[in-house]
Amino acid sequence: MADFPLNIVASLGTWQAFLLYALIGFAFGWVLESSGFGNSRKLAAQFYFQELTVLKVMFTAIVTAMTLIFAASGLGVLDYNLLWVPPTYIWPGVAGGFVMGLGFIIGGFCPGTSLVAAATLKVDGIFFVLGALFGIALFGETIGFYEPFFNSSFLGRMTLSDSLRLTEGTLTVAIVLGAIAVFAGAEWLEERVGGIPRSQAPRWRYGASAALIMSALLVALIGQPGNEERWERIASLEQLRLDHREVHIDPLEVLSLLHDDALRVELLDLREEFDFNRFHIRDARHLEPDSLQDLAEELIAMPGNTVFVLIGREGDDMEQPWRELRAASVPNLYILDGGTESWLKRFTDPSKSPVAPGLALGDRHPAADPNPRLFEGSFEPKVEMEIKRAPSGGGCG
């Protein structure tokens, strides 16, 4: 019985997972070629409203994938929080869309379909791929001239459900109904402009549309799991890690992580503001416990070599925040064993005065940034980095 949410690499192994990915990619290319998407004339015809197969196929793929993703998430098969969503840059995105659309009109291909055409040795497809590679190289060499614009109007991870304040199920139903209306309009245009009679369209499309609507309604009925339900799904494994103190890491290990150039360490201090001002480890971020849900998305989006360390007064007081963030799928999450009290005991020079009550030293206390060469000792290493979830491409490109 497979554990959910699924982790293909962990379940099958790296090379077996890569083989599965290659087979999926081959199948995707085969479907594109068999659908005629390796023919630039067929692709360009959509811009003249003569044949809108590309619009219908791609939009069908989008709504089908959307429905399956939210259905799998609602059933606990897929962890939607770990699904990489490209960050939004408004004006660079508009400019990039314009350039790609212009290239699509002139060349008759998008990046994905050009590879399909090149794989079948079509000359125009090969030249399009070569041109795309040249453009990529040119972009890389000239990015310094317009980098401020390239990184402007950043809005982070944005989804339609967040922007419109709709549930994923409601949005799925609305988009599916909208897609079917667009398909009907596309058939009307093909008949009026391209001379393609509707009678040539397969009748099974009515059944497929009905199945898609029923699936969207099912997604809305199932809903998406909340944090408590997400924790229940992983509690059998994660609670054992807590009970066996596998996530409580020694102050010496935290110090070694802070001086490891291959890692990025985020120290998340959840103590009261008074205690934080009195003393905190250098570069630690002070956070309110009620801000954890909003924080989770930011943490997940950080680079895969990031280790997150929760800091409390005694360490065990961070177990509930740890559960909440793990339920929200934050990876590489640990707790400073013993909290700041243990840190101060380990790294305060006995000859120096301790942190006096009521004195706000913040990170100016010597123990806030100890020199690892001055403190020797052994510890049981517990940090094991989870596999980085790299961004993946999508759509036509």
CATH of residue 334: 3.40.250.10
Q: Pick 395 or 236 by higher pLDDT.
A: 236
Do both 184 and 232 map to the same domain? no
Do both 349 and 273 map to the same domain? yes
Do both 101 and 190 map to the same domain? yes
User: Minimum mean pLDDT among 50-59, 242-251, 262-271: which range?
Assistant: 50-59
- HSE of 319 in the Cβ direction (CA atoms, 13 Å)? 16
Do both 153 and 210 map to the same domain? yes
221 pLDDT tier (thresholds 50, 70, 90): very high
- Mean of the pLDDT values across residues 238-253? 94
Do both 77 and 181 map to the same domain? yes
Do both 317 and 275 map to the same domain? yes
Distance CA 261, CA 48 (A): 55
Within a domain: 381? no
Instruction: Characterise 195 by phi-psi region: left (phi > 0), alpha (psi -120 to 50), beta (else).
Output: left
128 pLDDT tier (thresholds 50, 70, 90): very high
Of 182, 199, 227, which residue constitutes the final position of a domain?
227
DSSP helix/strand/coil, 214: helix
- Mean of the pLDDT values across residues 261-288? 93
Do both 75 and 128 map to the same domain? yes
User: Minimum mean pLDDT among 304-308, 347-351, 361-365: which range?
Assistant: 347-351
**CA nearest neighbour of 325 among 353, 359, 358, 298:** 298
Q: Is the pLDDT of residue 334 over 90?
A: yes
Q: How many domains does the chain have?
A: 2
Distance CA 260, CA 263 (A): 6
Do both 290 and 339 map to the same domain? yes
DSSP assignment of 128-147, as one string? Answer: HHHHHHHHHHHHHHHGGGSH
Cβ–Cβ < 8 Å for 108, 41: yes
Q: Is the pLDDT of residue 397 over 60?
A: no
The mean pLDDT value of the chain amounts to 88
Of 167, 202, 227, which residue constitutes the final position of a domain?
227
Distance CA 317, CA 320 (A): 7
Residue 43 belongs to domain spanning: 8-227
DSSP helix/strand/coil, 259: coil
36 pLDDT tier (thresholds 50, 70, 90): confident
Q: Does the model's pTM come out above 0.85?
A: no
Do both 246 and 163 map to the same domain? no
Encode pLDDT of 281-301 as tens digits. 999 999 988 778 778 888 888
Do both 40 and 176 map to the same domain? yes
Distance CA 293, CA 321 (A): 10
pLDDT (0 to 100) of residue 1: 40
Q: Pick 228 or 315 by higher pLDDT.
A: 228
Do both 190 and 307 map to the same domain? no
pLDDT (0 to 100) of residue 167: 93
Do both 58 and 189 map to the same domain? yes
Q: Is the pLDDT of residue 392 over 80?
A: no
Within a domain: 389? no
Instruction: Characterise 262 by phi-psi region: left (phi > 0), alpha (psi -120 to 50), beta (else).
Output: alpha
- Mean of the pLDDT values across residues 159-187? 93
pLDDT (0 to 100) of residue 152: 92
CA 218, 224, 229, 231 torsion: positive or negative? positive
Q: Is the pLDDT of residue 391 over 80?
A: no
Within a domain: 388? no
Q: Pick 82 or 206 by higher pLDDT.
A: 206
